[in-house]
Structure 1
């Protein structure tokens, strides 16, 4: 089983020595004794034990010229599970920059070895990153995801910048979006998470005082996160669409109480996306051995060319021919194996994508069924037993009569005709009863119609900036004034119960600015992106503001 794969790049004059020191410390820990620096860079096999468990490391090198290549393959039995062996394959390419590949996999002797494997990262990654950080002239290459923690939420432009990165077609790594909870705390600490996911994913921290409405307006619900949730945004598919996989706070808390348990679970989700592509980039021991053989014979050929002994020349040419034939055979087999591996990896990756899509679809279906049932319950309870089927004769009567429809009648019409696009809470109907004398009923009815049709459609396609254009300049407001937003009492008056929760509804439609109840009305509503419905919580007189 492939557990972990990574491919890191480093720059700087001290990078190679920093990595070699990390490899030396890691091998000493694994086989029980240290190797001389020269031994680390020469072919050999060394056996030892770790906590009484047998272990070994095989070293292969091609270091006679630049770029130099090294591989270290460590094998050791599992400390606790009989019949399981761990294999950690490490490769280093040293030239103008240092490329370090690390893969960790397990091998079981039979299907009877069934102990669960949890996601983990080899300690060598930690040692290498620490040594690079301590070195005077060494750094992680800027192209490596997770090189530093990114933040959004300080401005609307930060959301736009993330949207560009999400949509980038050549992005090969996932993005992990970490949001704060209601108290400004993070269920998974972003910086330690970034350290665990270096080389695998970009970690983006949402600042504690972010505006969730602005975020959803720019990113959309698919690529947003709030209330302590974490959103795992996949690399773009062939179609260019990047799927988001949100983990809600309840999901994260179910992973365990400790930060380590939560990071481990998320590491498993990330490596499920990245393992196969990164495995394909690894520095292979057999490839290094083949390169070493080719370089050796190239050097010998140059040396023999200076000799006069014709017999020696003839013998060497014979040996060289045989070696080239063997090299061609090895190359052919290696290409064939790589082609087969490439096909397997391609189909495995496609299988994983389909499996993830099916899993997400099942999850969304289950969630939708719950939301539908919850809405039915809410409508039955909060709607006072009203039927959502509007009588056509009554609608015709309202349309033909000379008098204006009342706000309550307008809500009934909208609920009856567009019940699949909106939900009107009892609080809205109650507030509407206070304005039976309102003079502009037909204008209100038309604005409500636009709200649940044109505005809703535009909101789903292009966000609030596009949708607001459905209404005139003085008919719609996306939020309240700063004085209202900063007043707990004013916010409370604009909060309504929906699906058992208190929901603030600052978006509103407006007609008139006078205190005259015959000419002024406000309609406060909420957009439920999951249910894709407009939720109307209030339709009545202008709610109080601090100055009035």
Structure 2
């Protein structure tokens, strides 16, 4: 299984020899053995090391160990998994320098091989530690992504948008947002060192106005409240330009940590899932170096034969060598064509997948970033049940919230905190589902319309009457009570004193409080709590 593939362009001071020496030191430390860099550079058929690993290398050096150009080199280290029996890890490092003093292309590949389908232990995606050493020592060219952590601010937003939409961009961008008083979900510098060469890392400072940044770059290129968003290069589909993205919400991140998985590993896995295959086609493998050596030998033999006197029989051998060289080139062209066809089909498939997602979004009325259903049945079934329950006059609070979310997705946002309080009330035997629907429907229609028309709070609150609506909690609110009514939305904290109310008992079953805030910039009502009475 492919775990990690990457490719770099370096300008090391001592050329390919400097990289080969770093490889030799890395293998020596990894295997607790002594590996001679000079021996590695001229080629090793097979070397068994102290820890049970095996090292091989290939090169295109001439018979007198002189270097011809283009120069090719590849090394392969294979070793058993320390914890999982039946699994073997292989790391390959390949180099190509086309001319003296030219940049050195360096590719790395990490993969596993299992003896059978019974080896099912999960793999934590990682990158070889050698990558970090190469970046520090070998002068990567400036166009290498991930060489430094970048900042997304109001000032840099136009430049960021230009970079995201740049047609020549070939790498993903990982966008980190921060939670107030908690910071980023993963250390940005640590994530950058893991993704270097594969993706850029962009951080949104906690004190930035995320609403203003969103206005500049659009919501699809933003992350909020401790979420991570990965934006892949744009693709041209039949319905226009689209950008695949992967979003890791704070809930996902908490789940990863609870399962003992690292966040940077999950981000790397999401990226390599899309980059491994195309990068593996460019990888400088031992087989590719062996083919380059064979081709170089064929060319030298053909050239030498043209300068020497020889027999007719030798002419026939030379013709065969020339034909073999032409066949190798034809196979390379054929393989390149197949890879291009595959990439085109993959682009088409992803474009169609985006179209399907957009159609599901339109049919369901559910915001795409809140999760997309797998089929229309998955949307219609629960929606039908919720409507029937409301018409019967006996819906649960969860059914009411689900129905309002579907019908008014463009007006109402239920935060995760509100959904948790909804579940708590239902577990406590909530019996006011019809009243909850009445209040939430008025909130999403009459109240919302008044504010959307710019008429202000005084006009809007008349939708509920005096007893059902309260603009604040008065002077009775303690510091702790204020904290209970503070909810985070897109990186901003809102103290939600405005609330709808029904019932006065200290009862999950017979009392309802809906705390909310109007966000004028989005023309949306954000609900932070929907359930029991909150203590003052």
Of 340-349 and 209-218, deviating more is 340-349
- Tell me which residue corresponds to 1:55: 54
2: distance between equivalents of 1:497 and 1:204?
Answer: 25
Structure 1 residue aligned with 2:267: 266
* CA displacement 1:224-276 (0-9 Å, x = unmatched): 12222211112212232223332222322222279981111111111112212
Say whether residues 1:109 and 2:112 are aligned partners: no
Secondary structure in structure 1 of the residue aligned to 2:117: coil
- TM-score, normalised relative to structure 1: 0.65
Q: Is the 8 A contact 1:44 1:60 kept in 2?
A: no
Which residue of 133, 137, 162 corresponds with 1:164? 162
Q: Distance in 1 between matches of 2:53 and 2:108?
A: 21
Matches within 5 A, 1:500-515: 503=494
Pairing 1:66–2:64 present: no
Q: Once the two structures are superposed, what CA deviation does each residue of 1:408-440 show, in whole Å capped at 9, x if it has no partner?
A: xxx998449799999x99995179989xxxxxx
Structure 2 residue 146 is matched with structure 1 residue 146: yes
Equivalents in 2 of 1:71, 1:345: separation in Å?
26
Deviates more, 1:239-248 or 1:412-421: 412-421
CA distance in 2, matches of 1:175, 1:184: 23
Query: After superposition, where does 1:479-518 map in structure 2 within 5 Å?
Result: 503=494
CA contact (8 A) 2:236 2:351 kept: no
Q: Is 1:90–2:62 an aligned residue pair?
A: no
Work out the CA distance in 1 between the residues paired with 2:6 and 2:149.
18
* Cα distance between partner residues in 2 of 1:32 and 1:204: 38
Determine which structure has more spread, i.e. the larger CA radius of gyration.
Answer: 1
User: What TM-score, normalized by structure 2, do the two folds share?
Assistant: 0.66
* Equivalent position of 2:510 in the other structure: none
Partner of 1:279: 280
Correspondence for 1:229: 227
Q: Secondary structure in 2 aligned to 1:70? A: strand
Show the counterpart of 1:255. 256
Return the offset for 1:4. Answer: 0.8
Equivalent residues of 2:177, 2:184 under 8 A apart: yes
Structure 1 residues not aligned, in runs of 5+: 133-138, 391-410, 435-488, 506-523, 538-548
Change in 2 beyond 3 A, CA 1:337/1:498: closer
Secondary structure of the structure 1 residue equivalent to 2:49: strand
Moved more, 243-252 or 98-107: 243-252
1:429 matched to 2:461? The reply is: yes
* Residue matched to 2:293: 292
Select which of 373, 384, 391 maps to 2:402.
Answer: 373
Quote how far apart the aligned CAs of 1:320 are.
Answer: 2.5
Name the counterpart of 1:525: 518
Equivalences for residues 355-374 of structure 1 within 5 A: 364-365=371-372, 372-373=401-402
State the 1:8 CA deviation: 0.8
Residues 504-543 of structure 1 deviation map (CA, whole Å, 9 limit, x = unaligned): 69xxxxxxxxxxxxxxxxxx831596xx735699xxxxxx
- Output the aligned Cα RMSD: 4.6
CA deviation digits over 1:82-106, x for unaligned, max 9?
3333332321112411111111222
Q: Which runs of 5+ in 2 are unaligned?
A: 362-367, 384-397, 406-413, 423-431, 467-478, 497-516, 529-536
Counterpart Cα distance in 2 of 1:353 and 1:32? 49
Q: CA deviation at 1:70?
A: 0.9
Cα 1:203–1:383 change in 2 (3 A) is: farther
Alignment length (residue pairs): 428
Q: Give me the whole-angstrom Cα distance separating, in 1, the residues matched to 2:146 and 2:217.
A: 21
Verify the 8 A CA contact 2:7 2:106 in the aligned structure 1. yes
Q: 1:166 to 1:120 in 2, by over 3 A?
A: same
Answer whether contact 1:212 1:226 (CA < 8 A) is retained: yes
Contact 1:177 1:203 in 2 (8 A): yes
Structure 1 residue 210 displacement after superposition = 1.1
Q: Name the structure 2 match of 1:323.
A: 321
CA displacement at 1:110 relative to structure 2: 2.8
Measure, in 2, the Cα distance between the counterparts of 1:389 and 1:203: 42
| 2:176 maps to which of 158, 175, 178 | 178
1:342-353 to structure 2, matched below 5 A, reads: 342-344=340-342, 347=345
Distance 1:245 1:2 in 2: 20
Which stretch of the first structure deviates more once superposed, 298-307 or 213-222? Answer: 298-307
Q: Residues 9 and 389 of structure 1: is their aligned pair in 2 closer, same or farther, counting only changes over 3 Å?
A: closer
Instruction: Note closer, same or farther for the CA distance 1:294–1:528 as it changes in structure 2 (3 Å cut).
Output: same
Q: Secondary structure at the match of 1:80?
A: coil
Instruction: Report if the CA contact (8 A) 2:32-2:50 is conserved.
Output: yes
**What is the match of residue 407 of structure 1?**
none
Question: What secondary structure does 1:331 align onto?
Answer: helix
Q: Which residue of 1 is the match for residue 187 of structure 2?
A: 189
